[in-house]
Amino acid sequence: MLTVVDASISGCAGETGQSGSGGGSAPSATDKTSRESYDQFVAQMAEILAVTGEQAGWTTEFSEPWPLEPGNELTPEPCDVENWRTSPYQLSLQVLGPGAEDLQADRDAMIRYMEDQGLEISGVFGDPSYPEGVAWDATGRGENGLKVIYATSSHHRAVTLHGECSAHPSMQNKVSQEAP
């Protein structure tokens, strides 16, 4: 069993690291269509999984194989859950995959990837004193609500990707590989 410690606040993080009306401001948003957001999201997830060295054997949090089949849809979520009526939307998904042998090297490779992408790193947890099965974690936050949460253990790995926020009206609809 993978035990994940996520010290982040749910929703999109604003400049202060808080979401909604908790003192922070909502992230800025792009105006990408749902299809542009979907394509960017899928490409970024592929990059992240390439960093792990294990591109096969991943499933979504809904037990669907990754990469998604053409008919599978993602439902955009509000970036600011407290102000969801006026909030831009983003794609979010967690994928689960095979464990790693060297947890520190695996997590550190993901941290380097996130830094190379310009993400601000936080929530770095894990050291050799952790019991077997407890995840080594790292979180990276970028512009426009982008967030990557990575957890690695000897049993499983978890990648949670929150794509960029978009104010385009199409982001209020489900989207798939078949979307226009």
Return d(Cα 11, Cα 155) in angstroms, integer.
28
- pTM of the shown model: 0.83
Question: What pLDDT is recorded for position 8?
Answer: 30
34-172: CATH topology: TBP-like (3.30.2030)
Question: What pLDDT is recorded for position 25?
Answer: 52
Return d(Cα 55, Cα 39) in angstroms, integer.
18
Nearest to 26 by CA among 9, 6, 40: 9
Peptide bond into 76 cis (omega under 30): no
DSSP 74: B
Quickly state the pLDDT bin for 180 (edges 50, 70, 90).
low
Beta bridge pairs of residue 139: 122, 149
How many beta carbons lie within 10 A of that of residue 38, not counting itself? 24
